[in-house]
Amino acid sequence: MKIKRWLAFGAACFALSATTAFAQEKREFSVSTVLSDAFPWGQAAEKWAELVKERSDGRITLKIYPNAQLVSGDQTREFSAMRSGLIDMAVGSTINWSTQVPEVNLFSLPFLMPDNAAVDAITQGEAGKMVFDAIEKRGVMPLAWGENGFREISNSKQAITKPEDLKGLKIRVVGSPLFLDTFNALGANPTQMSWTDALPALTTGAVDGQENPLAVYDVARADRANQKYLTLWHYMNDPLIFGVSQRVWKTLSAEDQQLLKEAAVDAGKWEIEKSRADLEKTLEIIRERGVEITELTPEQHQAFVDATQSVYEKWIPRIGKDLVDAAQKAIAER
């Protein structure tokens, strides 16, 4: 009897030390991004990694794989690769995840968010929680928001001030078919391709135009890819989400989950502030390169809004009426 008791005690001690050892184990995780640390997007991921390393005393390493290399450049497969455990974590765009999470198409509804306050009203409120719930249900734990930014349109042919100026222009887009609907509604000729293929296609003239935030236009030197005309139409904002595969999330202690989440929130806030603060300077740099920059009058802006209403009719049922209502309410009350 006595011996049995000692054996049980020994086994319990062993189990305890094994769990402690597991909790203290050094771990490395892969983090996917589409853009490198030459861009605010990649810097957001680097900041996350830096904070996690610091706060875990070097125990947890986030290794960043930019250029969507973990999915061979096919950025729209990032979410499913994370869900299946091929990728541990990502700082990803709602555009690229919208092929697998219909709810995040919310952010791609044309001209939904007029300014930064509207973006924040969504991400920091009830609508943002609904979006995070939808992502969690599909196998990824969302931790925090970052920002790729308001997407502006550029092309090689002419200044765009009205929908008719887009007629027949071949425009590169990526993400869900919502983008085809938006650009078809404007009379353009949209074509889907990954970012890896976009710059070569713009350079050779295989496509005439593209849409991306100013920071991406600037760092990628889109001006050298024939993009001489840039219209600031702010037609959508492209938030970033820091996410972790549920397969990985489940293996983490509550303390490590908390550490990862807090670091993501801090890195996201840092990146959003920096991106917004740098915008004016970035615009000046682009202007100095000889790019013709067009700003729209309220009337010109309204013509684009009117021309894209069909996108709402088609996509609200797919995104979810409750979610779109919550977002519109948050924007109205901002």
Site mask for ligand X2X (CB under 6 A), range 226-255, x = bound: ------------x-----------------
Question: Does residue 67 interact with ligand X2X by CB under 6 A?
Answer: no
Question: Does residue 195 interact with ligand X2X by CB under 6 A?
Answer: yes
What are the structure tokens assigned to 110, written together? Answer: 């044309």
The rounded distance, in Å, linking the Cα atoms of 272 and 145 is 9
Sequence-separated (6 or more) residues with CB below 8 Å from residue 292: 159, 228, 229, 230
Decide whether 30 or 98 has the Cβ nearer to ligand X2X: 98
Question: Does residue 176 interact with ligand X2X by CB under 6 A?
Answer: no
Q: Tell me the closest approach of the beta carbon of residue 167 to ligand X2X, in angstroms.
A: 22
Question: Does residue 108 interact with ligand X2X by CB under 6 A?
Answer: no
What are the structure tokens assigned to 246, written together? Answer: 């549920």
Site mask for ligand X2X (CB under 6 A), range 137-166, x = bound: -----------x------------------
Contacting range for ligand X2X; rule: CB under 6 A; set: 5-13, 48-56, 88-96, 311-319 = 88-96
Size of the site for ligand X2X (CB under 6 A): 12
Decide whether 75 or 231 has the Cβ nearer to ligand X2X: 75
Sequence-separated (6 or more) residues with CB below 8 Å from residue 146: 41, 44, 91, 239, 240, 241, 242, 267, 268, 271, 272
Residue 198, H or E segment: helix 195-204
| CA 266 remoteness from chain centre | 16
Among 70, 81, 135, 174, binds ligand X2X (CB under 6 A): 174
* Phi, psi at 245, each rounded to 5°: -55, 135
Other CB atoms within a 10 A radius of the CB of residue 334 amount to 16
Q: Tell me the closest approach of the beta carbon of residue 94 to ligand X2X, in angstroms.
A: 8
The radius of gyration of the chain from alpha carbons, rounded to an integer in Å, stands at 22
The rounded distance, in Å, linking the Cα atoms of 75 and 96 is 6
Other CB atoms within a 10 A radius of the CB of residue 41 amount to 29
Which of 149, 157, 297 lies closest to 211 in space, CA to CA?
149
Question: Does residue 93 interact with ligand X2X by CB under 6 A?
Answer: yes
Decide whether 64 or 326 has the Cβ nearer to ligand X2X: 64
The rounded distance, in Å, linking the Cα atoms of 294 and 192 is 25
Residues 32-61 that bind ligand X2X (CB under 6 A): 34-35
- Residue of minimal CB distance from ligand X2X? 195
Decide whether 47 or 172 has the Cβ nearer to ligand X2X: 172
Name residue, tokens 């734990």.
Answer: 141
Question: Does residue 71 interact with ligand X2X by CB under 6 A?
Answer: no
What are the structure tokens assigned to 14, written together? Answer: 């062993």
Contacting range for ligand X2X; rule: CB under 6 A; set: 7-15, 90-98, 152-160, 263-271 = 90-98
Decide whether 95 or 127 has the Cβ nearer to ligand X2X: 95
Interface contacts to ligand X2X, rule CB under 6 A: 34-35, 75, 93, 95-96, 148, 174, 195, 212, 216, 238
